[in-house]
């Protein structure tokens, strides 16, 4: 990997799927770019939240795990040796279209002619349950919010809490590994795809999953961060103890645009409105792609983020090369630039 330059054509904030593909599209147009991400590795939510969870809506891939998708995107940009600033949060932005100065929390200052924000859900973190002594159990891994390796949960007594897709999907995914698996929700109704709900009913009938409804998390029992049980309470306050080694609470993500929201562009509920044809924000020269971008008819699919990355790169080309016309060629015709 090359050293990070002091100047570049495009600064790409966010190294998840949309950011990685934006880097590829820029490189195919011979636009220099730098990837910036607050996480210590590329991949965004795919790497941090569900590396082993299958994704079904990537064209030509019937199913691909999050980590596999990131690995293929990394392979795609490898020939371009694109610099990256990891563990860097984009903090400040000054200047104007064609001449920006971007500052990070590490004190790095980067000059760029255009900016692509591919920050996914923004600065994200789990919604943590309000349980006494939670931190001690988090420190030992007895309470976890992400499943990075399914093998780590083999033979363990698992409590999964939540009623959405993540809770449902991981319950189905871990049921064959666990010694015992409880699924806790405040009502006997789960939000998921019809096929997932059917599979849940089958797993419950087979004794692979025990539904604990209508209950909510009440307390954690154990010593020195070693979990012995999860106490749950029903709507009347009656409690029940579930013997467990690990708790996986899936209550969604708390998202925040962070410093980006103070850069002077229009925002809307932790998203950034863009012009659909170019993905340019209300701040000229700043573009947004992927989940962070919004416009009428927007679909929050990774494949849509890929399309937006291509549109943004092509819209940026005349900013970087104002005196050159872009004669578009298919990649099948021109290949990867040498």
Please measure the distance between the N-terminal and C-terminal CA atoms of the chain and give it in whole angstroms.
Answer: 16
User: Domains (ranges, CATH) in the chain?
Assistant: 7-124+254-334 (3.50.50.60), 134-249 (3.50.50.60)
Residues, the chain, total?
338
Q: What percent of the chain has pLDDT over 70?
A: 94
* 332 annotated to a ligand binding site: yes
Prediction pTM value = 0.73
Report which of 310, 308, 277 is spatially closest to residue 291, judged by C-alpha positions. 308
Q: Is 188 annotated as a binding residue?
A: no
> Binding site annotation covers 199?
no
| Low-confidence winner among 18-22, 64-68, 130-134 (lowest mean pLDDT) | 64-68
Residue whose C-alpha is closest to residue 9's, from 116, 117, 119: 116
Which one has a higher pLDDT value, 293 or 52? 293
Give 331's pLDDT tier (boundaries 50, 70, 90). confident
Grade residue 325 by pLDDT with cuts at 50, 70 and 90.
confident
Q: What is the pLDDT of residues 238-290, one digit of tens each?
A: 999 999 999 999 987 766 788 999 999 999 988 999 999 999 999 999 999 99
Distance from C-alpha of 227 to C-alpha of 163, rounded to nearest angstrom: 22
Strand partners, 239: 233
The answer to whether 4 is a known ligand-binding residue is no
Q: Is 291 annotated as a binding residue?
A: yes
Taking a C-beta distance cutoff of 8 angstroms, is the pair 94, 100 a contact? yes
Whether the pLDDT of residue 192 is over 90: the answer is no
Would you state the torsion angle of the CA atoms of residues 250, 252, 258, 262, taken in this order, to the nearest 10 degrees?
-170
What does the DSSP 8-state code read for residue 3? Answer: P
Q: Predicted confidence band at 40 (pLDDT cuts at 50, 70, 90)?
A: confident
Residues 135-177 pLDDT 10s: 999 999 999 988 878 889 999 999 999 998 889 989 999 999 8
- CB neighbourhood size of 154 (10 A): 12
pLDDT at 100: 98
Instruction: Give the model confidence (pLDDT) of 126-135 as tens digits.
Output: 788 999 999 9
């Amino acid at each position: 990997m090359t050293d990070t330059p002091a100047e570049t054509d495009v600064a790409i904030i966010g190294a998840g799927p949309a950011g990685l593909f934006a880097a590829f599209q820029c490189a195919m147009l011979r636009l220099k770019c730098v990837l910036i991400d607050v996480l210590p590795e590329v991949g965004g939510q795919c790497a941090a939240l569900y590396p082993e969870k299958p994704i079904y809506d990537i064209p030509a891939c019937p199913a691909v795990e999050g980590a596999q998708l990131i690995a293929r995107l990394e392979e795609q940009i490898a020939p371009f040796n694109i610099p990256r600033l990891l563990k860097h949060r984009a903090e400040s932005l000054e200047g104007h279209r064609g001449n920006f100065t971007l500052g990070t929390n590490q004190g790095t200052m980067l000059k760029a002619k255009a900016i692509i924000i591919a920050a996914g859900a923004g600065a994200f973190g789990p919604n943590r349950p309000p349980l006494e002594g939670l931190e001690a159990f988090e420190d030992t891994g007895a309470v976890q919010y992400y499943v990075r390796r399914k093998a780590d949960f083999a033979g363990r007594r698992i409590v999964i809490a939540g009623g959405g897709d993540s809770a449902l999907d991981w319950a189905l995914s871990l049921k064959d590994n666990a010694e015992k698996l409880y699924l806790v929700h405040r009502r006997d109704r789960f939000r998921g795809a019809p096929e997932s709900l059917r599979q849940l009913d089958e797993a419950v009938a087979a004794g692979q999953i025990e539904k604990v409804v209508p209950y909510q998390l009440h307390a954690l029992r154990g010593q020195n961060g070693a979990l012995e049980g999860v106490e749950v309470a029903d709507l009347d306050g009656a409690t029940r103890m579930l013997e467990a080694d690990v708790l996986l609470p899936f209550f969604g993500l708390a998202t925040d645009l962070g410093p980006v929201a103070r850069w002077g562009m229009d925002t809307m509920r932790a998203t950034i409105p863009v012009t659909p044809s170019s993905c340019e924000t209300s701040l000229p020269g700043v573009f947004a792609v992927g989940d962070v971008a919004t416009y009428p008819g927007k679909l929050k699919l990774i494949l849509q983020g890929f399309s937006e990355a291509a549109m943004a790169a092509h819209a940026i080309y005349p900013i970087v090369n104002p005196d050159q016309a872009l004669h578009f060629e298919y990649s099948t015709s021109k290949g990867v630039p040498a």
